[in-house]
A and B are shown apart, each in its own frame.
Chain A
Amino acid sequence: MKLVKRDKYLLIMFAPVFVYYVIFMYIPMPGVLIAFKNFTPGHGIFGGDWVGLQWFAQFVHSIYFWRLLRNTFLLAFLPLLFGFGIPILFAVCIVEIKNQVFKRFAQTITYLPHFISTVVVAGMLINFLSPADGIVNTLLARFGFEKVNFMMEAGWFRTIFTSSEIWQSFGFSSIIYIAAIMSIDPEMYDSGKIDGVSKFQELWHLTLPSIKPTIVILLLLSLGGIMSVGFEKVYLLYNGATYETADVLSTYVYRMGIEGQNYGFATAVGLFNSIITFVLVFTVNRITRRMTNMSLW
């Protein structure tokens, strides 16, 4: 009680935050129990009969299970596979450019897509790739190629998604590598110069090894998030024709739950996704701690 009195202003300060966390974060938590219930709106979260693992079983045995798992994994993994190295390469370029004006210009331009909303990015993609009047098909036709209805062909979805992810993020992601390279001791470079190393050797034997810890941490971080493909972009880009390669767990939860009002089932699918993500994050954190003596928490 003495402590409460002493810290009363801190408690008053934190009180509204506490209320916020209880209402918006903690009250929904028991809501995951809907995943084990036969829930119909009107019953409240605590109404409805227990059905055990019925929804999970139904999901695991459904024809969509493997498709959703594969798509979720691939749409997170492919941008990582093709895009992880690009910000590193770009950071090396930026650091080496001596002309300050050109350097700033390059940075300003390449950071920009990071701040553009997903709706605009998706809108640009759909309109550029449109078979009727999109610039991509206009150019294809001009050079004598067949027009392609990109957004309606399942085979194209992964390419479109992956390349646009890289387009949006590579510039901004390079910032952290630029900062890492700038913090390398310049004397290392000076001594390299005395020994007459070429720029390629300098990059390979000095720059890259020096930023290795940063690279490792960021790689592990993104591996942890491999099951959490953002909902928005897939939702805005996909359609019935491309579900085969585009539908991911989060969009499926949205369709089943919000649109289909199939609350119990959708919650079960969502919970399934969270559990996998959670296990991944924990595993990755353990590996990080062992390898680099740093942990994410």
Chain B
Amino acid sequence: MKKSMLESPHRSYVKINSDTFTPKKSLSDRTFYGLIYVMTIVAIIVTFYPFLYVLSISFSSVEAIDQQKVILFPVGFTLSGYKMVLQYQELWVSFYNTLWYTVVGTVLNILFTCLAAFPLSRPRFFLRRKLNFFIAFTMYFSGGLIPVYMLITSLGLYNTRWAMVLPVLVITFNVMICRSAFEGIPNEIFESANIDGANDITMLFKLAIPIIKPTLAVLTLYYAVYHWNNFFSALLYLGQQDLQPLQMFLRRVLIMASPEVMQKMGGSMSTSALAVSTLQVRYVSIVVSILPIVTIYPFIQRYFVKGITLGAVKG
């Protein structure tokens, strides 16, 4: 088979119903589809199995876990692991904190992203080029970890909620995406609004923002996932436990397997029972922490493709 066959001169003139021309699939094509399905199923299993295992352990009885019977599905169904974890005060505190950081952070992110992007998208704005450079410059140069850390501490933001929000008020790359969206709005709309006496601020909030809603939905998704999963800022700036987000709590339970946390949850259990139930506590914590994402996930899935294509817009 040569490439030239594909580039046959007739190709743009011929339109056919492809089914009528391939009544029987050749052996090679059947192999092709076989491979496609096998690879996809392998990909599904590899991705899904870890989640299934976590879920199964979280619902299994302590005896079954102890005898290492749980491989695929729950054995000896019980909710005692969930009872133990959900009673734990610290989980709820960190859950509330994460919710706070995500909601407040994302709202401010979107507001500031629009405030930055709109002026930069107006062709007549006399500082447009200069300010574009002003923000783009920060994508390539930054003070680095230590100077930023020193700034945050000297501003008195250490151990305050604002340390999770203010340092990432806008992400420059997202401003670029938002700016392109504003630039895509036909200028006539603004001109007619101008004749009606609207100023730029009214135009932004009454006209421009409603028009680019789909883009803002994608940016909201990006910012919200960022805040929900943000661990690094908390590690740096939040020493105080009652301010720490879910991710810091998870780290103590999952990675450091903090004995103090486990004992508080386990109460007066015997050591061996405690060992097994701490294992279950870890898996239950995983389920609880990813549950919100998994729940809203099907609703945001349709934005993924749009998000990716937006990101590909040239900065």
A28 and B148 contacting across the interface, CB-CB below 8 Å: yes
Q: How many residues of B contact A (CB 8 A)?
A: 103
B254 and A126 contacting across the interface, CB-CB below 8 Å: yes
A109 and B48 contacting across the interface, CB-CB below 8 Å: yes
For chain A, residues 228 to 274, give those with C-beta under 8 angstroms from any C-beta of chain B.
Answer: 231-232, 236, 250, 253-254, 257-258, 263, 266-267, 270-271, 274
- Among residues of B, the one whose C-beta sits closest to the C-beta of A236 is B255
For chain A, residues 20 to 64, give those with C-beta under 8 angstroms from any C-beta of chain B.
Answer: 20-21, 23-32, 34, 41, 45
How many Å lie between the Cα of A141 and that of B33 in the bound state? Answer: 36
For chain A, residues 85 to 108, give those with C-beta under 8 angstroms from any C-beta of chain B.
Answer: 89-90, 92-94, 96-97, 102, 105-108
For chain B, residues 108 to 164, give those with C-beta under 8 angstroms from any C-beta of chain A.
Answer: 112, 115-116, 118-120, 122, 124-127, 131, 134-136, 138, 140-151, 155
B39 and A90 contacting across the interface, CB-CB below 8 Å: yes
Q: How many A-B residue pairs have CB under 8 A?
A: 291
Question: What B residues does A93 contact at CB under 8 A?
Answer: 36-37, 39-40, 43
Q: Helix, strand, loop or mixed for chain B's interface?
A: helix
For chain A, residues 172 to 226, give those with C-beta under 8 angstroms from any C-beta of chain B.
Answer: 172, 175-176, 178-179, 187-195, 197-201, 203, 205-206
- Among residues of B, the one whose C-beta sits closest to the C-beta of A209 is B3
A159 part of interface (Cβ distance < 8 Å): no
Instruction: Please tell me which one of the listed residues B47, B120, B145, B147 contacts residue A167 in the complex, with CB atoms under 8 A apart.
Output: B47
A13 and B250 contacting across the interface, CB-CB below 8 Å: no
A9 and B201 contacting across the interface, CB-CB below 8 Å: yes
- Among residues of B, the one whose C-beta sits closest to the C-beta of A239 is B255
Q: How many residues of A contact B (CB 8 A)?
A: 105
Per-position contact with B for A105-128: 1 when CB-CB < 8 Å, else 0? Answer: 111111111011111101110111
B50 part of interface (Cβ distance < 8 Å): yes
Known contacts: A17-B170, A90-B39, A120-B250. The answer to whether A263 contacts B150 by CB under 8 A is: yes
B6 and A45 contacting across the interface, CB-CB below 8 Å: no
A190 to chain B, nearest CB (A): 6
Interface hit among B85-93, B212-220, B289-297: B289-297
A128 and B50 contacting across the interface, CB-CB below 8 Å: yes
A24 and B293 contacting across the interface, CB-CB below 8 Å: no
Question: What A residues does B26 contact at CB under 8 A?
Answer: 198
A32 and B255 contacting across the interface, CB-CB below 8 Å: no
Known contacts: A20-B169, A117-B247. The answer to whether A32 contacts B147 by CB under 8 A is: yes
Question: What A residues does B268 contact at CB under 8 A?
Answer: none
B6 and A31 contacting across the interface, CB-CB below 8 Å: no
B41 to chain A, nearest CB (A): 8
Q: Helix, strand, loop or mixed for chain A's interface?
A: helix
B296 to chain A, nearest CB (A): 10
A193 and B125 contacting across the interface, CB-CB below 8 Å: no
A17 and B251 contacting across the interface, CB-CB below 8 Å: no
How many Å lie between the Cα of A10 and that of B182 in the bound state? Answer: 14
Question: What B residues does A236 contact at CB under 8 A?
Answer: 251, 255
B77 part of interface (Cβ distance < 8 Å): no
Instruction: Please tell me which one of the listed residues A14, A18, A28, A96 contacts residue B144 in the complex, with CB atoms under 8 A apart.
Output: A28
- Among residues of B, the one whose C-beta sits closest to the C-beta of A206 is B6
Interface hit among B99-107, B184-192, B258-266, B303-311: B303-311
A278 and B50 contacting across the interface, CB-CB below 8 Å: no
B312 and A176 contacting across the interface, CB-CB below 8 Å: yes
How many Å lie between the Cα of A31 and that of B145 in the bound state? Answer: 10
B232 to chain A, nearest CB (A): 6
- Among residues of B, the one whose C-beta sits closest to the C-beta of A16 is B115
A133 part of interface (Cβ distance < 8 Å): yes
How many Å lie between the Cα of A239 and that of B301 in the bound state? Answer: 36
Question: What B residues does A30 contact at CB under 8 A?
Answer: 143, 147
Among all A-B residue pairs, the 10 with the closest Cβ atoms: A31-B147, A28-B143, A123-B254, A191-B11, A117-B229, A9-B200, A199-B32, A28-B147, A10-B119, A270-B144
Q: List 16 A-B contacts (CB under 8 A).
A: A4-B126, A9-B201, A28-B150, A29-B142, A92-B36, A117-B228, A120-B290, A167-B46, A187-B11, A187-B12, A189-B18, A190-B14, A193-B21, A195-B5, A198-B1, A232-B231
Interface residues of chain B, those whose CB is within 8 Å of chain A, are 1, 3, 5-6, 8, 10-12, 14-16, 18, 21-22, 26, 28-29, 32-33, 36-37, 39-40, 43-44, 46-48, 50-51, 53-54, 65, 68, 71, 112, 115-116, 118-120, 122, 124-127, 131, 134-136, 138, 140-151, 155, 166-167, 169-170, 199-201, 204, 225, 228-229, 231-232, 236, 247, 250-251, 253-255, 276, 279, 282-283, 286, 289-290, 293-294, 297-298, 301, 304-305, 308-309, 312, 314-315
